[in-house]
């Protein structure tokens, strides 16, 4: 049964608070045959909608997404930036060869996934002019220039969740150019190690801030997260939760952090809220029933998160 439809802001008269530009896919679970909403874009939008009442997700999708549209709306994710393109939404075959080991195989192949990426220029106003952008995207040809120009013209902040493929030693010039115009950058501990080697978290945050971003989010899975700006560096502990499927936890954290930050929350509150949203995402396979359920559970989980200044961590 799908969740009840919630009232959404009219996209013809209001711009969204958060525009998520990343992939929506359908996950097919090899063992059970279950099909569920997935992809970095879906989970980031889920996290953002735990906080915000106005979230749009930009991705190309197929006709086969129709049975899940009410689920998206029930979770508070607007569907007006989903661009219909053919019969089939990108799909990923999910298998678990070992406990806690998740393998993802793009169906029918990676080229088909790339073709379903959305561009800012595909979207109408006012959807293309949100209060903030969440982006999980590499250097897909033609993607960044119009987005960066529009963001600069409108003064819109961008959160960039760095793809692992771009996390190479020292970062390449194109990545540095985008980071120079990025407000918040989010990456995980393994990606930070790939860029900076054995630098400790404080040094990683300092190094990334010299490249342009004002806020750095360093996600550490079960060890919590570290967040920093020019005033402080904080450690956010994990929520008191049992992880069932870690899929989407990092994306949900990023989306929720951005939505909280845009709404004026400081680093500590944004990190606490984001940790609650991420924990809510990973304590079951698939997503919670609806936005009200997710918000209630995320609030409970956020209350278990300890925030403290970062002290004495070197790796």
pLDDT over threshold 60, residue 3: no
- Give me the residues paired with residue 83 across strands: 60
pLDDT for res 112: 87
pLDDT for res 315: 46
pLDDT for res 18: 98
Average pLDDT over residues 191-195: 97
pLDDT over threshold 60, residue 241: yes
Angle at 21 between CA 79 and CA 154, to 5 degrees: 105
pLDDT over threshold 60, residue 11: no
- State the average pLDDT for the chain: 92
104-136 pLDDT tens trace:
899 989 888 889 999 999 999 999 999 999 999
pLDDT for res 247: 85
pLDDT over threshold 60, residue 1: no
**pTM of the full predicted structure?**
0.93
- 29 pLDDT tier (thresholds 50, 70, 90): confident
Average pLDDT over residues 265-273: 98
Average pLDDT over residues 249-260: 97
What separation in angstroms does the CA of 258 have from each of 86, 184, 234, 271, 278?
Answer: 32, 8, 16, 10, 13
pLDDT over threshold 90, residue 10: no
Average pLDDT over residues 18-27: 96
Structure tokens at 61: 């999708």
H or E, element range at 77? strand 77-78
pLDDT for res 14: 78
Backbone angles phi, psi at 218, to 5 degrees: -110, 105
pLDDT over threshold 60, residue 2: no
- Residue 192 exposure: Cα atoms within 13 Å on the Cβ side: 24
pLDDT for res 245: 84
pLDDT for res 313: 54
User: Is the four-CA dihedral 258, 262, 264, 266 of positive or negative sign?
Assistant: positive
pLDDT for res 100: 58
Please tell me the CATH superfamily of domain 18-309, with its number.
Ribokinase (3.40.1190.20)
């Amino acid at each position: 049964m799908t969740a009840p439809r919630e009232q959404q802001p009219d996209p013809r008269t209001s711009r969204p608070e958060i525009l998520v530009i990343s992939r929506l896919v359908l996950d097919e679970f090899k063992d059970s045959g279950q099909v569920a909403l997935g992809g970095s874009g879906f989970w980031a939008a889920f996290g953002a909608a735990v906080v915000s009442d106005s979230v749009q997700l930009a991705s190309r999708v197929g006709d086969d997404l129709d049975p899940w549209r009410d689920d998206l709306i029930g979770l508070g994710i607007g569907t007006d930036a989903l661009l219909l393109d053919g019969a089939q939404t990108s799909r990923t075959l999910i298998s678990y060869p070992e406990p806690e080991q998740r393998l993802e195989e793009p169906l029918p192949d990676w080229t088909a996934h790339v073709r379903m990426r959305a561009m800012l220029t595909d979207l109408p106003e006012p959807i293309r002019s949100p209060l903030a952008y969440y982006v999980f995207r590499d250097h897909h040809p033609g993607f960044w220039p119009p987005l960066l120009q529009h963001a600069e013209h409108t003064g819109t902040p961008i959160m960039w969740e760095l793809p692992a493929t771009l996390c190479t030693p020292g970062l390449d010039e194109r990545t540095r150019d985008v980071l120079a115009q990025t407000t918040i950058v989010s990456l995980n501990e393994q990606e930070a190690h790939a860029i900076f080697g054995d630098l400790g978290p404080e040094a990683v945050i300092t190094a990334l801030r010299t490249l342009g971003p004002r806020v750095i989010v360093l996600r550490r899975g079960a060890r919590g997260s570290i967040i920093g700006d020019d005033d402080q560096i904080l450690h956010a502990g994990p929520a008191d939760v049992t992880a069932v499927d870690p899929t989407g936890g990092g994306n949900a954290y990023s989306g929720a952090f951005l939505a909280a930050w845009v709404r004026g929350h400081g680093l500590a509150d944004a990190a606490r809220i984001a940790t609650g949203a991420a924990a809510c995402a990973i304590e079951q396979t698939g997503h919670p029933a609806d936005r009200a359920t997710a918000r209630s559970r995320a609030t409970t989980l956020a209350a278990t998160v300890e925030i403290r200044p970062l002290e004495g961590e070197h790796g």
